[in-house]
Every structure is written in C-alpha cells, then in structure tokens.
Structure 1
Amino acid sequence: MPFIELDGVEKTFTIRRRTGLLRREKREVRAVDGISFAVERGEMVGYIGPNGAGKSTTIKMLTGILTPSGGRLRVAGIDPSRERTRLAQRIGVVFGQRTTLWWDLPLKDSYRLTHRMYRIPDARYEENLARCVDLLDLGDLLDVPVRQLSLGQRMRGDIAAALLHDPEVLYLDEPTIGLDVVSKARVREFLKDLNATRGTTVLLTTHDLTDIEQLCSRVMVIDHGRLMYDGELAGLHAVGESERLLVVDLERELPPITNVPGARFVRSDGPRQWLAFPATASAAPLVAAVASRHPLLDLSVREPDIEAVIAKMYGGTREDRRESLR
C-alpha cells in the first residue's frame, strides 16, 4: 500500500465579501480540485506550482490541519483529519513562512519542549539533536533566542525541530527560502543523507528548481488546484520547453554571440551577454564553445524560474493545458 495516497481529494473554501452597506456576497473557491496521487515509502517528491495553485492547502490536508471537502486521503493508513494526534508522531512539517519554534526562547529550549511534547526517549533525542546540530551547523545558535535568528538560521532550526522525533515522512514547504548558497547546499546534503540512511519520505514544495533537481527523482505540478503533471523533471522541462540562461561576461563589449550551436542570443548589456539554451541540454558544450571563441572574464548558468516554466507550459485554457500533458 502506498505510504501517502490521495484519491479525488477536494478542498473548497467559502469566501464572503461586502458588496454594499448591508449586503454580502458569498462564493466558493476550489483550492484543490480532485487531486489523485500516491507516494511510496522512501520517495523524495517535488510538489510544485505557481502561487495560489493549492500546494500548501494539500500539505495542510496531509497533516490534518485542514479537512478535505471531498475524496479520500490516507497517510500511513491513517486519515489525517480524524486521527491528527496519532499521525503527528509519524510526520514532520516545515513551513518556510512560519516557525514552530518558540519566539522568545533560546533554540535549545525550543528543542527541549519538543522533546517533552513528543515524549522522545532521552537517548534517541540526544542522538538526533547531535546529528542535526552537526549536519545543519547549529552549534553556535543553540543559546540564541529564536527572534534574534536570521531567516536562514531559523529555517535550519525548524528543520532540526521537525526531525527530532524521527518522523517517517517530512513535508517541506519552501525549506530553502532565505538561505544563502552555502546554507542551501548544506540543507540539501542533509536531506539527501536523511533519505538515504533513514528512508524518510519527503514531499517538497519549492520555487527553487535546483532543490528539485538535486533532491527529487519525481516531480508533480499543480495548477488551479489540479494535478497537471506527474513524472520526471526532464519530462517537465521537455513539455514546458523551458530554457536555462548562460550569462557571459566578456573582457570588452562585442557584437552579439550568435555563432554557438544550441544557444540563442537573448540580450546584451555592455560586455555582458545572455544566451538561452534548452534546460534538458548540458551547459558544458556551450561553455567550451564560448570560451574558445571569445575573451571571457566570467560566466554563470541561471536555472529557469518555475513560474516561467509553468506559464509557458500552460499558455492556453485550462483544458488546453491539461490536453498538452496527455
């Protein structure tokens, strides 16, 4: 049996707004519209889509925070909305925009409270805490009140708090938001190790495609509350015809670089030029071709923005967009 299973799950909200002095208008908004998918134990799955697509609503239903309006949902054989307390012992959750840490307490005191709340055996707690502190570089932050932590530091602290009780599944909603490049790499390596050594199932929502590329073998795209794509990331790029950008800094201003096979000149600004190439292609041949023909100072590769990928995939009506993925 799949570890996570959704079958025709819906979530509808009723919105009321004032239309006059004494009149109010009521309408229903379908945030999740008949989603079905299954996740096996130990999978790492990316769950992506534009803002307002229904990603966070799905995760809140998976944790039991919200009750589905329709359909069937199970996590480890448990109905989250009916057995939320029982399920809490088996899941970990990190919401990038919200913290589960106690604002005015030092980080270590938040962890001690988590220790008591989940009734974690002392030896297991100490082992898990030491591992998280080491891998997430939290040693110098344990005595710092949470309100004094930067967003990136707090995110690492939240990830550690979510893992102290050894959850079987970890829901991550924008876990690398606000992190610098080094911290992002540390968190990604930590999640890879967690999945490889403990078999933790991970459902990841993010706007950073690099997170998906480095962590997930499978990606699901949700748009307007419907599941639009479920498969490998390479297939998503192929369907969306997404492009990466090669940013080239030349020694001096030169005519547009148009003689590199597989690349398309986009624009230039003085000695800097932007070349686009398919996201499914390797950057190495382009880099070699540019370096052999032009005087370089520096270059970098920019990944496609997930909003742009989805916008390009879904340029027509909703039915047109669904048809394009069949």
Structure 2
Amino acid sequence: MSTARFSPFELLLLKSRSQVDTATLLLLGWVLVHRQHVSEGQRRRRLAQVTSQFRHGHELGPVMSIAHSQDLHAIQLAAEVVRKECSKERSLSVMHQAITVATDDGDISLANHYILRFLADLLNVAPATLGTLFQELTGQPLRQPEDPSRDAYWQTHDPAYYAQKAQEEADAAQREKASQEQAEQQQRAKADKQQEKKQKQQEKKQQKEDARRAKARAEQSSAEQKAEKARAEQARQEQARQEESRQRQQRSSPPPPDRTTRALAVLGLTPGASKTDVRRAYRRMAQLHHPDRFYSDSEHQVALASARFQRIKNAYDYLMQTY
C-alpha cells in the first residue's frame, strides 16, 4: 500500500514498536522545544535520557523535527494515542517526565505552563495532583502563568520587546505629532493663501473702484472743461455780438457832440465862433429868454423860461472859461 497519504508522524506510528511510547516521545519533545536558552543538542540528549526505557525503536531526529514544526495535527494525534493507551500510573509517569524536562533549569516558560496543564487534562490528572507533583519535583509551587497580554509580563520576560514597543509608541506619537504639525502647517498655509487671495481680491476691487473714481473725476473734469469752454465761447460770442452791435451803432449814428459844441449850439453858434461872438450871442439870447419877460404868463411858461435861461447861462459860463 502506498504511504504517500500518511503524514511523517503517522509513518512513525506505523513503524513504531510502541505507539504510546512514540506519542509520549512527541509530547515530551513538544515540551523541550519550548524550553528557553537550550540548544538543540541539549534537547535531544535530555529527551534520550528521559526516554531511555521507551520501546519505540526509531531515531529521535524525526520526532524533534515534527515537534519543531509545531504540527498540531501530529500533536493532537499523539495526545489521542496517549489518552487512549495510558493507565493512571503511566499517566503520572508521563507527567513526571514532562515536568522534569520543562524545569531542568529551575524555570518554566510561559508556553510550558499551558502545555503541562494540557497534558494533565489529557491524562486525567487533577489540577491539585499536578500542583503536588510539581512541588515535589521542583520544590516550588505551580503558580498561575502570567498574562502575556499585560505590559508587566513583557517588561520582566522580554525587556527588549517592551523597549521596542515603547520605542514604537514613541515613534507613533512622534509621527502623530509631526502629522498634526504638518496638518496645522497646511491649514495655516491654506488660511494664509485664502487671506492672500482675499487681500488680492480686495486690492483688485479697490483698484477698480479707484479707476472708476478716477474715470468719473476725469469725465467730470472734462465736462467742466467743456462747460467752461462753452461758457467762454458763449461769452466770447456775446462780446463779439456786443462789439459788432456797438460798431453797427457807431456806424449808423453820429458821434455825440462834445460839451463845447453843445454849449455853442445852445447860444446858436457853430464851432469856430470867437469869444466876442459868444458874448454877443449871450446878450441876445438873454434878452429873448429872460424869465422877467414871462411874468404875466402861466407858472408853467415861467418855469420853462427859467430853465431855458439857465441853460444859456451855463453854456456862456462854460465857454468863457474854456476860451
């Protein structure tokens, strides 16, 4: 029959002279694999010493290889074989051997705490009996295993792990702090960018407003200049019209006589008359228009005669001063 369907441990069981010895051998090897600070050669020599009376009839190497591989199927099969075949006395003997190989150096690993309890339960050894047997063989009570989920365990049994864990936590905190600082920096940069954008928008808006006001002022100034030019042009045109009207008036009417000419006209003389002519004309006009000649007329006639005589007198006085 082909053996390809069997696992390495099943082949050992098939070739073994005592399957219970081979199964016990694997369980003890499983305990030895979990011994701390023990070389492979020491494990094999210790296993050979403890099982020197076994009748399995094969090498220890394949058994240790299976134990190192942590083949749970093989360990489960070995446990079933031991549970089925072992008597009470043999069960206690197996527990004695397991405690011995687990505590040769006076210490017991955490894994072997659980393995010894597993074997005791497998072999129907009560916890109190296991504690008594452990006390007799090691001189120490079998205490409850420490909880590997607590930091205190790793501080005691694996300080390097705890230091690494503390370093990892410190690194994580540092990364978190750096990430937070980066996020804050990015947020500040974003706020600064938004502020800068807002400021630019305000500056652009202000520039537009300034340009609008400047344009409005320029338009107003241009309008004022146009209005001023219009007013100036209107004034110029008005002045031109007045000047043209004055010139037309001057051209259409003779220039007004001067005072001398008017005074001569009052006395009935023409320009060029002599002083003697003025005296004669005055005497003649005075006799004709003296108010005393009109005393018998109405008051209105007397008033008109007085006014005429006064003009004659004023004209004579002016001409006598002038000549």
Same fold (TM over 0.5): no
Normalising by structure 1, we get a TM-score of 0.20
- TM-score, length basis structure 2: 0.21
Q: Which has the higher contact order (CA 8 A, sep 6+)?
A: 1
Higher helix proportion (structure 1 or 2): 2
Structure number with larger C-alpha Rg: 2
Q: Which has the higher strand share?
A: 1
